[in-house]
Structure 1
Amino acid sequence: MKSYKDLDIYNLAFEYAIEVHKLSLKLPKFELYEQGSQVRRSSKGVKDAIVEGYGRRVYKQDFLKFLTYSQASLLECTSQLEMISELYQLEGIDELKTKYERLGAKIHSFSQYVEKNWKS
Structure 2
Amino acid sequence: MVTHKDLDVWKLSIALVKDIYMLTEMFPPQEQYGLTNQLRRASVSVPSNIAEGSARNSLKEFIQFCYISLGSLSEIETQTIIACELDFVNREHSDKILKQIEIIRKKLLNFIKHLKIKGTNNAR
Identify unmatched segments of 5+ residues in structure 2. none
Q: Which amino acid aligns with 1:5?
A: K
Stretches (4+) displaced over 2 A: none
CA distance in 2, matches of 1:25, 1:95: 15
* 1:4 counterpart = 2:4: yes
Hey, what does 1:46 align to over in structure 2? 46
Hey, what does 2:31 align to over in structure 1? 31
TM-score by length of 2: 0.90
* C-alpha deviation, 1:2, in angstroms: 1.9
Hey, what does 1:114 align to over in structure 2? 115
Aligned-pair identity (%): 28
8 A contact 1:54–1:63 mirrored in 2: yes
Identify unmatched segments of 5+ residues in structure 1. none
- Structure showing greater Rg: 2
8 A contact 1:24–1:36 mirrored in 2: yes
RMSD after superposition: 1.4
* C-alpha deviation, 1:21, in angstroms: 0.8
* CA deviation profile, 1:32-67 (whole Å, cap 9, x unmatched): 2100000000011011100001111x4010011000
TM-score by length of 1: 0.93
Q: Which amino acid aligns with 2:40?
A: R
Hey, what does 2:98 align to over in structure 1? 97
Aligned length: 119
* C-alpha deviation, 1:75, in angstroms: 0.6
